[in-house]
Chains A and B, each alone.
Chain A
Amino acid sequence: MDTLSKLTILADAAKYDASCASSGTTRRNSVSGGLGSTESAGICHSYAPDGRCISLLKILLTNFCMFDCAYCVNRVSSNVRRARFSVEEVVNLTLDFYRRNYIEGLFLSSGIIRSPDATMEMMAEVARALREDHGFRGYIHLKTIPEADPDLIARAGRYADRLSINIELPSGESLAQLAPEKSLPKIRNSMGFLRERIEGAKEERRVIRSAPRFSPAGQSTQLIVGADDARDAAILQTGAQLYSNYRLKRVYYSAFSPIPDASARLPLSAAPLVREHRLYQADWLLRFYDFSLTEITGAMKDGMFDPAIDPKLAWALANRAYFPVDINRAPKEMLLRIPGIGVRAVKRILAARRFGALRLEDVKKLTTSIKKVMPFISTPDFSPGALTDDAKLPAKLKPRQLDLFA
């Protein structure tokens, strides 16, 4: 089979992984030799009609796989066409794409062939060849196989910017049912091992500048939404635990989407994309807005997000006693709780109010949607009065073009 046919099969097989980040690693360039650079922010070199960023060459080394994970297009029992890249083919594709400025680097994953160790070793070899034989300074994300030997995982970490292990299912029971060969304790073990190595390397480099790096952009994982019957609250809780136990950089949520050649053990239709969207919003509230898990789940109904309103607005509507918030006096933590005001708008408000009291007109200039904000704030010239406590407020604030995410 020629490289082009392999590329088509092995990119198609990789597209169910949502991660495409290329940010947060060390800054490098090739002024003193080699090829490539990484700067503070990642770059999306293209966008597919599914709205997703294309930053990395995201491919599988092979889609042959010994495992039988029901949700996966590459499971052993699927009739999908199979292909297998050589190490050299992946290395050359990465370099050729990179030189033309198509990509930031490589995201390599793989089906498990022969053994977890053999597969992990080949993936690490691709990264080693790129770094050592070709002086590649671009971004490398390697999928980690939890069942592989820790020494091999450690080898991968020396060459990669990021490592990831996908949990895919939010509970041990679902995993046992839908991904019988995967084991949650093994995954947790490997995540713990990675955390130790990542933090250890950072610590060492603080003392010895030349100490080796280890996955400087951290580790991440992915959870599938809607392949099992897990509710939003349970998924969010799993995500929150992963952040705190293993210091993950990102948890990706991926709405289950129909795959060709589906397994009979799965729902045939897609999970609504709005579930995924709400989970990302809640994830953001946990990480950047100082919300606690129970605050978010407390505003849910039966452990599910309201598809019509975002989780921050849901919390505000359930906790109206905190509002209206005085734009000129409230501390930063409280400004962050106002629906419709993001981290950047809060920063702008904090800066601007040092120059004098902000009036409603000023707030309007500093935020993107004053209408959404108004029921929850007060300024010297404006008070929402009874609006904050209006029983019809939820209906008034619901956006109209809901089907956008349906």
Chain B
Amino acid sequence: MTLRLEPPEDGDLAAWWRLALGARAAGLRPDQVIWQAPETADLFAAPVTVVPSPLLPSPVAPDEALIPLSEAATHLIETVVLHSSETRFALAYRLLDRLAARPALIGNPADPDIRRAQGLAKAVHRDMHKMKAFVRFRSVATPQGERFIAWFEPDHHILEATAPFFRRRFAAMHWAILTPRKSAFWDGKTLSFGLGARREDAPTEDAMETAWTAYYAAIFNPARLKPDAMRAEMPKKYWRNLPEAKLIPGLIETAAARTGEMIASGPTTPNRRIVPYQPQTKTRPS
């Protein structure tokens, strides 16, 4: 018997646990489950039975499920679920099955499932880290006060998992992070999530960006040009949402000439009179 389960909404970990634990309680082995949304179902695949999730045995919360999962195992499974890979639910369900039967497996990086899961987890963690780094708020004055709004395009389903970081950091501000799939809002009291947005929905400028881009240009040392090192950490896909990135081509292009000029112009002679520094003599107990 093979069952097709409709995957939970992206990023909704609670829904994932309800489904997965329900399926386990129903005795479904990983090879008996296909995780597929109806609209992407392959018409020519072997016939499968579709189980609407409400018909599964009553939903269980993860902590009531009495499955001996370590914190590390739970975390790994949840991180896999946040990945955008099409096979994430199948892998997560298989991990759940295998780790429940053999908890020590989590420590074996040579196991193919563990290795694959760690690979996906690494990508998700990197995406979360880059979101914390590259979100750029733009300030908008409203009758109710200042609002900070950002547009960000994550690779994985990380908005819900990363939003609490912004709450802890900017608790006194009212902010919104808009993404194509979903948006996060903080009003100083409650973190809530709403529909996805478009790039045009976010403000297009902020008065501080002149200062920020001036800083970016000034802190760059043209004598040490290493654009590959920059791109390794700040890939081009992020540039369109980073106000400073529009300067990059120009800075790279002029770097060699600027450095050459520094060397060619040679040492200079001071054009003002230098009074040698005299340290004050201080007597104080050390």
Contacts A46-B242, A100-B206, A366-B109 known; A258 to B223 CB distance under 8 Å?
yes
A33 touches B233 (CB 8 A): no
B139 touches A99 (CB 8 A): yes
* B283 proximal to A (CB < 8 A): no
Q: How far is the CA of A258 from the CA of B225 in the complex (A)?
A: 13
Residue-wise interface mask of B (70-109) relative to A, using a CB-CB cutoff of 8 A (1 in contact, 0 not): 0000000000000000000000000000000000100111
A49 touches B225 (CB 8 A): yes
B28 part of interface (Cβ distance < 8 Å): no
Q: How far is the CA of A34 from the CA of B271 in the complex (A)?
A: 47
List chain A residues, Cβ under 8 A from B172: 30, 33-35
* A257 and B268 within 8 A (CB): no
The docked-state distance in angstroms from the alpha carbon of A79 to that of B223 is 19
Q: Looking at the complex, which one of A68, A181, A262, A351 makes contact with B109 (CB distance below 8 Å)?
A: A351
Assess the B268–A47 pair: CB atoms within 8 A: no
B29 within 8 A of A: no
Which of these binds chain B: A155-163, A198-206, A235-243, A266-274?
A266-274
Known: A15-B220, A50-B224, A352-B110. Contact between A101 and B214, CB under 8 A?
Answer: no
The reply to whether A147 and B279 form a contact with Cβ atoms under 8 Å apart is yes
Contacts of B219 in A (CB 8 A): 11-12, 14-15, 48, 54, 58
A258 touches B262 (CB 8 A): yes
Which of A1-9, A226-234, A303-311, A368-376 makes up part of the contact surface?
Answer: A1-9
Query: Is the Cβ of A263 less than 8 Å from the Cβ of B267?
Result: yes
Chain A residues near B276 (CB-CB < 8 A) = 68
Contact between B138 and A100, CB atoms less than 8 A apart? yes
- B135–A355 CB distance below 8 A: no
- Which residues of the partner chain B approach A4 to less than 8 Å between Cβ atoms? 210-211, 214
Residue of A at shortest CB range from B107? A351
Chain B residue contacts of A78, Cβ below 8 A: 268, 270
How many angstroms between the C-alpha atoms of A259 and B263 in the bound complex? 8
> How many angstroms from the CA of A66 to the CA of B226 in the assembled complex?
34
Q: Is the CB of A31 within 8 A of B168?
A: yes
Binary B-proximity of A104-117 (CB < 8 A = 1, otherwise 0): 00000000000110
Residue A97 at the B interface, CB < 8 A?
yes
B13 to chain A, nearest CB (A): 21
Are B266 and A268 in contact (CB-based, < 8 A)? yes
Task: For B210, list chain A residues within 8 Å (CB).
Answer: 4
A186 to B229, CA, bound (A): 37
CB atoms of B270 and A101 under 8 A apart: no
Nearest to B206 among chain A residues (CB) is A100
Docked-complex contact B137 and A100, CB < 8 angstroms: yes
Chain A residue with minimal CB distance to B218? A11
Interface of A is mostly: loop
By a CB distance below 8 angstroms, the chain B residues around A101 are 135-137, 150, 170
Q: Which of A7, A33, A34, A269 has a CB less than 8 Å from the CB of B215?
A: A7
How far is B13's CA from A100's CA once the two chains are assembled, in angstroms?
29
Please, which residue of chain B has its CB at the minimum distance from the CB of A100?
A: B137
Contact code string A275-318 (vs B, CB < 8 Å = 1, else 0): 00000000000000000000000000000000000000000000
- Distance A150 CA – B270 CA, assembled complex (angstroms): 33
A96 in the interface (beta carbon within 8 A): yes
CA distance A99 to B206 in the complex (A): 12
User: Which of B17-25, B51-59, B251-259 has 4 or more CB atoms under 8 Å from chain A?
Assistant: B251-259
In contact, A30 and B133 (Cβ under 8 angstroms): no
Closest A residue by C-beta to B207: A96
Please choose the segment from A37-45, A165-173, A212-220, A386-394 that sits at the chain B interface, where 4 or more of its residues have CB less than 8 A away.
A37-45
CA distance A125 to B101 in the complex (A): 59
Nearest CB of B to A93, in Å? 7
Q: How far is the CB of B153 from chain A (nearest CB, A)?
A: 15
Contact (Cβ within 8 A) B215 A11: yes
Whether A77 sits at the interface, judged by CB under 8 Å, is: yes
Contact (Cβ within 8 A) B221 A15: yes
The 8 Å CB contact of B171, one of A30, A181, A263, A270, is A30
Looking at the assembled complex, report how far the CB atom of B18 sits from the nearest CB atom of chain A, in whole angstroms. Answer: 29
Could you tell me which residues of chain A, from 54 to 103, have a CB within 8 Å of some CB in chain B?
54, 57-58, 66-68, 76-79, 93, 96-97, 99-102
Given A4-B211, A49-B226, A355-B111, 7 extra CB contacts under 8 A: A8-B217, A47-B230, A49-B255, A51-B230, A79-B270, A262-B267, A355-B108
27 pairs from A and B in contact (CB 8 Å cutoff): A7-B214, A8-B214, A8-B215, A9-B218, A12-B219, A37-B165, A46-B133, A48-B221, A49-B227, A50-B230, A76-B270, A78-B270, A97-B211, A97-B212, A100-B139, A147-B279, A149-B284, A258-B263, A260-B262, A268-B263, A351-B107, A355-B111, A362-B110, A365-B109, A365-B115, A366-B109, A366-B110
Residues in A lying within 8 Å of B, measured CB to CB = 3-4, 7-9, 11-12, 14-16, 29-37, 39, 41, 43-54, 57-58, 66-68, 76-79, 93, 96-97, 99-102, 115-116, 147, 149-150, 181, 255, 257-264, 266, 268-270, 273, 348, 351-352, 354-355, 358, 362, 365-366
Give 5 nearest A-B pairs by CB, closest first. Answer: A51-B229, A51-B226, A264-B267, A11-B218, A29-B168
